[in-house]
């Protein structure tokens, strides 16, 4: 593997391919791993942004009168 794969899932997927076709599909596996990592980072960033906005706009409730 020229560019080593980072995740155990994609390493195992690559190694499960027959030896004769590994080089042919290495680019596809690397590209799939990059997409997965990018989507994971995007979801994580959006989740953090959502949490930050929720904290920013969360106003404590005003005490209400009993009457």
Task: Sketch the domain layout of the chain as residue ranges.
Answer: 15-49
Spatial CB neighbours of 29, under 8 Å, sequence gap ≥ 6: 5, 10, 13, 14
Evaluate whether 32 touches 10 at the Cβ level (below 8 Å). Answer: yes
Tens digit of each residue's pLDDT (9 = 90 or more) over 5-62? 999 999 999 999 999 999 999 999 999 999 999 999 999 999 999 989 888 887 666 7
pTM (2 decimals)? 0.72
Q: What is the structure's pLDDT at 3?
A: 62
Q: For residues 36 and 42, what is the distance between their CA atoms, to the nearest angstrom?
A: 10
């Amino acid at each position: 593997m020229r560019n080593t794969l980072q995740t155990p899932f994609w390493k195992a997927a690559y190694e499960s391919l027959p030896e004769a076709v590994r080089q042919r599909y290495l680019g596809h596996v690397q590209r799939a791993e990059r997409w997965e990592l990018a989507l994971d980072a995007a979801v994580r960033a959006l989740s953090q942004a959502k949490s930050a906005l929720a904290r920013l706009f969360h106003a404590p409730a005003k005490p209400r009168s009993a009457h």
